[in-house]
């Protein structure tokens, strides 16, 4: 058969970098607010509830079915047009948000708040459909090749965006001016759109090649398309209902916490928001470039740990490669020991290590699920770890227990997604996965809408008699009750994972079996 562009490994990986840049930049914009929550409150004069309202507004269009509608539009228009329109919407939303905090629409609090919400709503519409579009593009280029690896790398780029956004935003907002952090994040989405436009040339070319060689084009493949009949079937399937509810409850306990984690560490343990010069690693005199370099190296180590030993067949080579990477990693930590010890006392930098850790752990847990199965059991364990994490971060006050809680949170955040997303592929036929993910993301947005806002509202409520003192810098927010509320979500997640395990026993999808037995 005639070769197409996707038969070249170099071109496939180039395509992955071009399209994953969209995930990197949109995850950055989604999550960088967490690194500057305190600065936003002071700079815009907003309360925690209002901060929560801004974060929650990202989901407003999605809770009423925008992701499903976006999926249908993606089916009709194809990757190129839908990518441009929805990527463009996320860029537009980011520009509006940046203009809002820069005071372009007016510099009074309510104008800034309203336009920040408008910006986040538009950004949220674009961002979620971009996620679906990027996954579809990976399937188009990697089906029959390294698809699982490509998907893991793609999510890795997203998590890198989350981590860097949280860690770098306070450096960009130095001196308390939050506007540069917003403009920078919006520009990143603009740059990734340029990368997407470059990708479009490859997309046109491959479609032409496929048409010439008689392979159906993306627009002609209709098994992937959204159908209401499939949707009805899905939401009456017991196992799917439990996994979709688990997706909603679990992510509601994790994503919103990330938006508050730096502030929690600052208020509970007295960590700093802005980095002292001891914690700065300068490249060409720039702390921002230095931080970016540290994160990119962390990403390379994370991916090497999880992928290089696996690439060898013999156990000796596996062990040797693991030892080489470990030695290099220890050298890296040793050289940067002073920087890291400062980072562990800084709220945004410490919190950013949670998404960073998932880059290392998610592929490891993914391969455990592949080899040993036990997907539902692992989701139960991951949810139980959430309970431990949030008890450590709420009712106890010891900072070491706090670190342990953060590590547990990082493991849970790796374990549950690593078991959940492949499990969906067992419950739902491959050509209905798009509909299934769209439905799950919609459920997820319902939970996110409630908890992004709920944590902030509860924080203001439980601290209502101390708010004036908090604003004056005389005392700190008490996060105990809002974090305890998230521990309850962990309990519900564990119960849903248990119900999923029971439903699977009845329906026989084999979630507890290794993937290799298929």
Ligand X SMILES: C[C@H](NC(=O)[C@@H](N)CCCCN)C(=O)O
Centre a 10 Å sphere on the Cβ of residue 213 and count the other Cβ atoms it contains: 11
Comparing CB distances to ligand X, the nearer of 104 and 446 is 446
Comparing CB distances to ligand X, the nearer of 279 and 355 is 355
Window 440-459: residues binding ligand X (CB under 6 A)? 441, 444
434 by Cβ neighbours in 10 Å (0-12 / 13-18 / 19+) ranks as buried
Comparing CB distances to ligand X, the nearer of 5 and 246 is 246
Among 20, 116, 162, 442, binds ligand X (CB under 6 A): 162
| Binding segment (CB under 6 A) for ligand X, from list 27-35, 211-219, 228-236, 394-402 | 27-35
Comparing CB distances to ligand X, the nearer of 305 and 441 is 441
Q: What is the DSSP annotation of 470-518?
A: HHTTSS----HHHHHHHHHHHHHHHHHHHHHHHHHHHHT--TTS-GGG-
| Binding segment (CB under 6 A) for ligand X, from list 26-34, 45-53, 140-148, 168-176 | 26-34
| Binding segment (CB under 6 A) for ligand X, from list 45-53, 155-163, 316-324, 498-506 | 155-163
- Minimum CB distance to ligand X, residue 74 (Å): 15
Q: How far apart are CA 352 and CA 338, in angstroms?
A: 18
As a dihedral over the C-alpha atoms of residue 258, residue 260, residue 265, residue 266, rounded to 10 degrees, the angle is: 140
Measure Cα distances from 300 to 168, 307, 325, 494 in Å.
19, 10, 10, 33
- Minimum CB distance to ligand X, residue 92 (Å): 18
- Minimum CB distance to ligand X, residue 508 (Å): 26
**Site membership for ligand X, residue 252 (CB under 6 A):** no
Q: Which two tokens stand for residue 414?
A: 């790796």
Q: Where do we find the tokens 């907003």?
A: 46
Comparing CB distances to ligand X, the nearer of 279 and 302 is 302
Window 402-431: residues binding ligand X (CB under 6 A)? 417
- Minimum CB distance to ligand X, residue 163 (Å): 11
Three-state secondary structure call for residue 272: strand
Comparing CB distances to ligand X, the nearer of 55 and 380 is 55
Comparing CB distances to ligand X, the nearer of 91 and 441 is 441
Q: How far apart are CA 145 and CA 6, in angstroms?
A: 9
Comparing CB distances to ligand X, the nearer of 59 and 239 is 59
Among 6, 20, 24, 31, binds ligand X (CB under 6 A): 31
Question: What are all long-range contacts of 11-16, with beta carbons under 8 Å and residues at least 24 apart?
Answer: 11/202, 12/141, 12/142, 12/145, 12/146, 12/150, 14/202, 15/137, 15/141, 15/199, 15/202, 16/138, 16/141, 16/142, 16/150, 16/153, 16/154
- Minimum CB distance to ligand X, residue 298 (Å): 18
Q: Where do we find the tokens 């850790």?
A: 357
| Binding segment (CB under 6 A) for ligand X, from list 154-162, 365-373, 385-393, 496-504 | 154-162
Q: Where do we find the tokens 């170099």?
A: 10
Window 190-249: residues binding ligand X (CB under 6 A)? none
- Minimum CB distance to ligand X, residue 199 (Å): 20
Q: How far apart are CA 401 and CA 392, in angstroms?
A: 6
Comparing CB distances to ligand X, the nearer of 155 and 164 is 155
**Site membership for ligand X, residue 131 (CB under 6 A):** yes
DSSP character for 1? Answer: -
- Minimum CB distance to ligand X, residue 302 (Å): 15
**Site membership for ligand X, residue 260 (CB under 6 A):** no
- Minimum CB distance to ligand X, residue 305 (Å): 20
DSSP character for 283? Answer: B
Size of the site for ligand X (CB under 6 A): 13
Among 33, 157, 255, 295, binds ligand X (CB under 6 A): 255
**Site membership for ligand X, residue 30 (CB under 6 A):** yes
Q: How far apart are CA 27 and CA 13, in angstroms?
A: 20
Measure Cα distances from 76 to 124, 219, 221, 223, 226 in Å.
21, 7, 11, 13, 10
- Minimum CB distance to ligand X, residue 446 (Å): 12
Window 449-508: residues binding ligand X (CB under 6 A)? none
Q: How far apart are CA 318 and CA 290, in angstroms?
A: 32
Among 128, 171, 207, 224, binds ligand X (CB under 6 A): 128
**Site membership for ligand X, residue 59 (CB under 6 A):** no
DSSP character for 8? Answer: -
Q: Which spans of this chain sit near ligand X (rule: CB under 6 A)?
A: 27, 30-31, 128, 131, 155, 158, 162, 251, 255, 417, 441, 444
């Amino acid at each position: 058969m005639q070769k197409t562009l996707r038969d070249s490994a170099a071109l496939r990986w180039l395509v992955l970098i071009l399209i994953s840049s969209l995930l990197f930049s949109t995850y950055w914009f989604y999550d960088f607010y967490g690194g500057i929550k305190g600065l936003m409150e002071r700079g815009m004069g907003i309360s925690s509830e209002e901060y929560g309202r801004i974060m929650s507004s990202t989901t407003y269009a999605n809770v009423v079915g925008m992701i499903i509608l976006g999926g249908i539009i993606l089916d009709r228009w194809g990757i190129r047009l839908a990518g441009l329109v929805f990527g463009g919407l996320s860029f537009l939303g980011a520009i509006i948000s940046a203009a809002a905090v820069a005071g372009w629409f007016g510099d009074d609090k309510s104008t800034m708040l309203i336009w920040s919400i408008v910006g986040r709503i538009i950004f949220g519409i674009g961002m979620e459909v971009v996620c679906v579009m990027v996954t579809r593009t990976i399937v188009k280029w990697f089906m029959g090749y390294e698809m699982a690896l490509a998907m893991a790398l793609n999510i890795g780029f997203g998590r890198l965006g989350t981590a860097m956004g949280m860690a770098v935003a306070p450096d960009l907002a130095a001196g308390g001016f939050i506007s540069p952090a917003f403009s920078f994040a919006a520009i990143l989405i603009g740059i990734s759109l340029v990368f997407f436009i470059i990708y479009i040339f490859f997309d046109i070319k491959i479609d032409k090649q496929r048409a010439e060689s008689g392979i159906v084009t993306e627009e002609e493949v209709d098994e992937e398309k959204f159908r209401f009949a499939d949707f009805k079937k899905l939401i009456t399937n017991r196992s799917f209902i439990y996994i979709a509810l688990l997706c909603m409850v679990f992510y509601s306990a994790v994503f919103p916490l990330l938006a508050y984690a730096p502030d929690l560490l600052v208020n509970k343990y007295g960590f700093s928001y802005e980095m002292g010069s001891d914690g700065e690693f300068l490249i060409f005199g720039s702390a921002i470039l230095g931080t970016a370099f540290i994160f990119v190296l962390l990403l390379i180590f994370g991916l090497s740990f999880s992928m290089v030993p696996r690439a060898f067949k013999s156990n000796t080579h596996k062990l040797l490669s693991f030892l080489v990477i470990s030695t290099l990693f220890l050298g890296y930590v040793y050289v940067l020991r002073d920087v890291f010890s400062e980072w562990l006392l800084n709220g945004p930098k410490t919190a950013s290590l949670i998404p960073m850790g998932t880059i290392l752990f998610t592929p490891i847990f993914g391969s455990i699920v592949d080899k040993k199965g036990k997907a539902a059991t692992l989701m139960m364990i991951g949810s139980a770890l959430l309970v431990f994490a949030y008890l450590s971060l709420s009712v106890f006050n010891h900072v070491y227990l706090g670190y342990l809680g953060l590590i547990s949170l990082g493991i849970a955040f790796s374990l549950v997604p690593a078991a959940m997303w492949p499990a969906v592929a067992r419950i739902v036929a491959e050509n209905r996965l798009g509909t299934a993910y769209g439905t799950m993301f919609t459920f997820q947005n319902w939970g996110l809408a409630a908890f992004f806002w709920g944590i902030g509202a509860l924080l203001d409520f439980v601290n209502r008699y101390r708010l004036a003192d908090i604003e004056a810098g005389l005392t700190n927010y008490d996060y105990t009750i809002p974090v305890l509320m998230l521990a309850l979500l962990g309990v519900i997640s564990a119960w849903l994972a248990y119900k999923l395990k029971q439903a699977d026993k009845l329906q026989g999808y084999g979630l507890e079996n290794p993937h290799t037995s298929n």
